[in-house]
């Protein structure tokens, strides 16, 4: 079995492994040599030495002239206090396993494309990268600013976690905005369907009325045609007695037919449907004015509306007294 491939998998496991190789002081991947404390927590030796020097200012570095018996060191992860010997952090055992894992991890990551652009550096500590985010002051900073500088009493978090949080928040805001516009689209589609249905209903009613008139006029035309044919046949009768016998009922039928000609008709402009018009300019202006606002602006607008209503009520009351 390949030791490297079994130790360093791909995907999310690589990210999880990287988190385990982060120094709790500098919040970056351990820098060799890595020392292991008696509490089994790991630190970069440089980071451990910086903390040890700050807690024991009279203890000199390796090769110094001042001789001390040692000093105290508090683990930044579990707060367990360790009594150092005269060698200080240089007397701590190196964690060769972690160092080997770091080497393998870096080899696996070496094939990945490097990110473009330089990493921003701390203005207070020029050699330190900006790698943490101060939650108290809401600014990016470096690990030395947290340990020794202006952010000692502040609450901090890894820069990447803050970046991911803000990125997710941006995604959430975009989704909420999309949902709101989708709701507007739904309202417009619903209103569009409603108005089109009203036009269609009016159109169908007018068509039904016209079809009914056509049927009435067709029936009346058939009756009139038959009556005319009967009258022509009567005129052709050679005998006077026969003509006179049929003349009276024929005349009566003609009179009744003339009375029955009072059929329905369409009024002038019956086909006109211009009354189905919309003035959407004020709505279009409102849509164009859509913008991001604050709660304060909304509250201010509501207060203005309430004041206008109160003024309107007051004016009506005065007019009523007059």
pLDDT of residue 67: 47
Copy the structure tokens of residue 99.
């160092």
pLDDT at position 272 is 84
From CA 309, how far away is CA 311, in angstroms rounded? 5
What average pLDDT does the chain have?
77
Query: pLDDT value at position 213?
Result: 86
At how many degrees (to 10) do helices 240-259 and 159-235 cross? Answer: 160
Residues 302 and 287: their CA atoms lie apart, in Å, by 19
Token couple for 168: 């997710």
Nearest to 259 by CA among 214, 213, 299, 223: 223
For position 148, what pLDDT does the model report?
79
112: three-class secondary structure by DSSP = coil
pLDDT digits (tens, 9 = 90+) for 93-139: 889 988 888 888 888 776 554 444 467 888 888 778 888 888 899 88
pLDDT number for residue 243: 66
- The dihedral through the CA atoms of 26, 28, 34, 40 has a sign that is positive
Comparing 105-119, 210-224, 300-314, which segment has the lowest mean pLDDT? 300-314
Query: pLDDT value at position 262?
Result: 66
pLDDT band at 13 (very low <50, low <70, confident <90, very high): low
| Over residues 17-38, mean pLDDT | 85
- Which tens digits make up the pLDDT trace of 31-82? 888 888 888 889 998 888 888 888 877 666 555 545 456 678 888 888 888 8
Task: Report residue 194's pLDDT band, with 50, 70 and 90 as the boundaries.
Answer: very high
Q: pLDDT tens digit string along 258-299?
A: 665 667 777 788 888 888 888 889 988 998 998 887 554 455
Rounded Cα distance between 61 and 125, Å, is 21
For residue 274 the two structure tokens come to: 């211009």
What does the alpha-carbon distance between residue 14 and residue 5 come to, in Å, rounded to a whole number?
Answer: 11
Least confident of 146-160, 222-236, 245-259: 245-259
Q: Is 42 exposed, middle or buried (0-12, 13-18, 19+ CB in 10 A)?
A: buried
Higher-confidence position of 97 and 161:
97
What is the band of 309 on the pLDDT scale with cuts at 50, 70, 90?
A: low
Q: Is the pLDDT of residue 3 over 70?
A: no
- Which tokens belong to 151? 């952010």
| Per-residue pLDDT, 163 | 80
Is pLDDT above 80 for 318? no
| Strand residue runs (E) in the chain | 34-36, 42-44, 71-74, 81-84, 93-94, 132-134, 139-141, 156-158
């Amino acid at each position: 079995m390949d030791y490297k491939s079994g130790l360093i998998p791909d995907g999310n496991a690589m990210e999880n492994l990287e988190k385990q190789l982060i120094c709790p002081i500098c919040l970056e991947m351990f820098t060799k040599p890595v020392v292991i404390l008696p509490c089994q927590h790991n630190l970069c030796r440089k980071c451990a030495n910086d903390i040890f020097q700050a807690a024991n200012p009279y203890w000199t570095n390796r090769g110094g002239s001042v001789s001390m018996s040692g000093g105290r060191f508090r683990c930044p992860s579990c707060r367990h206090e360790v009594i150092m010997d005269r060698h200080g952090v240089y007397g701590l055992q190196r964690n060769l396993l972690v160092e080997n894992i770091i080497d393998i991890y870096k080899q696996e990551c070496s094939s990945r494309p490097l990110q473009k652009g330089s990493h921003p550096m701390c203005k207070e500590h020029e050699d330190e990268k900006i790698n943490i985010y101060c939650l108290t002051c809401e600014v990016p900073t470096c690990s030395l600013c947290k340990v020794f500088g202006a952010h000692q009493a502040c609450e901090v978090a890894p820069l990447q976690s803050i970046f991911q949080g803000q990125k997710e928040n941006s995604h959430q805001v975009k989704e909420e905005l999309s949902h709101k516009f989708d709701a507007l689209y739904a309202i417009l589609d619903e209103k569009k369907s409603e108005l089109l249905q009203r036009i269609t209903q009016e159109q169908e009613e007018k068509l039904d009325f016209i079809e009914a008139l056509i049927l009435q006029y067709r029936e009346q035309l058939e009756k009139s045609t038959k009556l005319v044919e009967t009258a022509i046949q009567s005129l052709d009768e050679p005998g006077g007695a026969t003509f006179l016998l049929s003349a009276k009922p024929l005349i009566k039928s003609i009179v009744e037919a003339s009375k029955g000609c009072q059929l329905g008709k369409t009024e002038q402009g019956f086909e006109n449907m211009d009354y189905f018009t919309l003035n959407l300019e004020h709505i279009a202006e409102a849509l164009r004015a859509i913008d991001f606002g604050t709660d304060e602006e909304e509250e201010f607008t509501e207060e203005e509306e309430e004041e206008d209503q109160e003024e309107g009520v007051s004016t009506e009351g005065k007019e009523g007294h007059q």
